[in-house]
Amino acid sequence: MRILRSVRHKSCADGSFMKEFLLSDPIPEGFFTYLENFGEVEALPNLGEGFYKFEKPDWFSIKGFVGDTAVEVRFKKEVMKLTVDFLYLLFTSYREGAVDLSRVKQREEAVGRRVQEHLYGHT
């Protein structure tokens, strides 16, 4: 599954920057379970069956429905240039079933150090 393009974007009142992305394939059932390896996932059944929110504090959040071909991503504006490539990696590295997360986790650590340094002046 790949991000094809951004179809909508805007600055939000809370200081975040929202982008809506079109995906190459519908979001599979296991994608949000996969994301639990990298942040907090919450099912939001009040908004509809299969609606999920993923939160990676200081980086970005992802909202979307299983089976949909679009997601909304809200970036922390100050570090968006540092974290956007990791977002793309999360989508391209997802596979159904057991996955070797070592490469993605290494990248997460490297980006995390840069985010911490940029936001707080330390790693």
Helix (H) or strand (E) holding 70: strand 70-76
d(CA 20, CA 9): 6
d(CA 80, CA 84): 6
> pLDDT by residue for the chain (123 residues), tens digit each?
999 999 888 998 888 999 999 999 999 989 999 999 999 999 987 777 789 999 999 999 999 999 999 999 999 999 999 999 999 999 999 988 777 899 999 999 999 999 999 998 865
Tally helices (H) and strands (E) across the chain.
3, 6
pLDDT (0 to 100) of residue 47: 72
Show me where the domains of the chain are located: 3-120
Given 3.60.21.10, 3.30.310.10, 1.10.540.10, 3.40.718.10, which CATH number is that of 3-120?
A: 3.30.310.10
Global pTM value: 0.91
d(CA 3, CA 24): 6
Structure tokens at 59: 């980086």
